[in-house]
Structure 1
Amino acid sequence: MNRSDFSLTDARARYVQANAATLRWILGRPRLAGAFLNTKVNSLSLTDYGDADGVRGPAYLYGWIQGRGLEAVATHAEFFETEEPALVAELDDAGFALYQALRDLQRRDGHGYFCYDGNLDPFYVSPDGMLHRQSAADQVFTYSDAFFAKGLIAGAARYAPADLPEHIAYLSEVIDSIEQRRFQMDERCRLSPRTAMDEPEDFGPRMILLGAAGLLHRLELSEHSAFADRFIAHVLESHFDPESGLLRNVPGTDACNVGHAIEFVGFALGHLRDSAEPALVQQLRSVLISSFTRGFINPGLCLSVSIATGNPLSPYCPWWSLPETIRSAALCFAASGDGEILRIWEQADDAFFTHYWRGSLAYQTLTWNGPIDFVPATPDLDPGYHTGLSLLAAIRVADWILPRPIGAQVTM
């Protein structure tokens, strides 16, 4: 293969610098309710959201963001012990406080929720803009539970190891809910077993929880990761379209969320590491290449494409799918030494740092016409999760590869 001009040494340095800048920015901001991370900034104007901004403002707390943030802070604290020790004490101060706050929230009824009001009571916003008290989740679990569980495991591993069995049991409940159709994806309506059962079988929940497997491996808790093999097999058997190489969001339908498909590849490879069968690596490689090739419309990856035509189904290009591509391409390149994958890594790196990156944070969404105020999931900016953890995975790959010639297969 032709040697790329892409420098892993330069990329590694850029990723470390970017992650450190984001973390310093977060650490320098006042915490919400004394313990929670505060990334409530408009990504276009860089101005803080205030009370006049309603549910974007500081009176409302997003469980998604806080769970993601705890995983990011605890994981980066370990990484920066050797890279930048002066940053670690601040990370641990924030991480320990956040861990305790999220643990206490989850212990109230065994769940995390998408959004909380100023009294830390769960609520949701209906399509007409009205606020409603959220129903008790009971045996229904959600994406918020998934992010709480991952964050609490990462936090407990660093700050409260005696709590780990409690949080691993919580993770197991979330996993069971997916396989028993008790997982509700839509958290912007009342939570109920009927709603969960009636939702289409999107691969998103399995994809997100698959990310917990890599976390468990890194924390030397691999004995709890058996679910990941089932999830990978289920997604590929039920959602993979061999003709296009894409993953159908829902079996029998036309749309493919290319960012989620690429994220799935990264999480799968993060779990499989050096145990993956060559045929499985090739199938995951196919998903990555097809998703990126069809989804990359410049300035980034569009939200979804048609499997039948390959055409974009949305003009919106969120930030998060490019760092996730960097993660997935890095892991796939480490497993295969494939030059085409290296070029995808390079393209995603260039697009993200050229069009989205602003020094310590990124625009949330771009279109052909530039940045736009479109919120993909929550208005709070990324707390080092999609961006930071994705780039951190690529840093680890670079560290495995750099002593070796470009193109050589790497054993992880």
Structure 2
Amino acid sequence: MPAPDEVSELRALEQLEAQLGALRDAGETQKRIQSEVLNALDSEQKLVENALQQLAMIDRQAAADRELTLAPTEPTVRYTLPLLKEKSPLLQAHADERRRIRSLLSAPQWSSQDVECLRIAMENERLRSAALHTDPSTVDWARVSTQVPFHTPEDCRTRWYFFERASVNLTRWSTGEKRALASAIDQANPSWEDAADSLKTGRTGYAALEAYQRGIKPAIDWTPERDAALLAAVQSLGPDWKAVVQHLGYPAFCASLCHQRHSKLKSTALRLGRWSAEEDAALRAAVAEYGCDWKRVEIYVPGRSGQQCRERWVGRLANIPEGETQATRRAWLPEEDARLRECVQKYKTWVQVAEHVGGRSDKMVRERWLLLRRRDEEEAMRQRGEPVPARRGRRQSETGPKT
């Protein structure tokens, strides 16, 4: 039989072992709970990340819907027709109206949400006009635009007038509408708004202009005989397209068609490379007759464009007397150098400088000014006691007038 001390010690050890087992079970339970909590946090984090990605996609889509259209509303290069502008105001008015409307329609893109906001804003504006007993046709577009994000009052007015009005007809043009529009334009030459109103079919002035330009405007069936007659008429009358169409017996609105056809015939027959003696003689005769009107000169130099004629004349023939093969170089006088320095500071292009210096081409005055500037820089370096660098074959970059 064990002693009482051993029994008490044995019981103490059993209690301690029970406590250790309880602590071990509690640790396992705590570990399991922590693992479950970590798994729950991971799944929650994945849900949050997916939600954020979906929100980002929605934001990008909304931004794409409201993205601004950054594009030039006018062509970067224009072919001016001074005679056509002066003598055919109807064609010029058509072109101006087309450019104006296109500039209005090149506004920020309209999403479905923007259109809905515009419709709600117009309904609110109608109710406000009715409550204030004002003219319902008078719309405060500044007030309307405050309810349509990212769009100016002019954008809202253009969108509503051309697309969202209930009275606007956006269906395909019928044959009867096209005939009525052509008859109205040919007989009275009204404005496009008046022509569209005369149809009584809900068309806008711009829709009438687009339909006329795309399919109603008459065309000329060009044949080799008509091409030859056009070239002969332009050779005789010059680039006066109104006179050309009158000479050929075409209506006045065919002036632009004749001009486009002549430009196409000219471009297809364009030649590159060396100039022949016959071409030089034709160029000299045309310049003697019409001066530096290169659009008129090119008509009398077959196969050469106005730019080619100008480059040939300015770069070579202007400095070579007729019958000679080499340019005669005339020394620059001190008075000419002084006048050149003054003109460089006053004018913006070498052509203007050459006109006021007199007797020199724009290329010649540019080369002379570069030489004078280089001499001035070298003289200043000598006065400061600095070594003058040797001249290189390549010219310095110019900072004077533009070519």
TM-score where L is the length of structure 1: 0.21
Q: Comparing both structures, which one devotes a greater share of its residues to strand?
A: 1
TM-score where L is the length of structure 2: 0.21
Larger Rg: 2
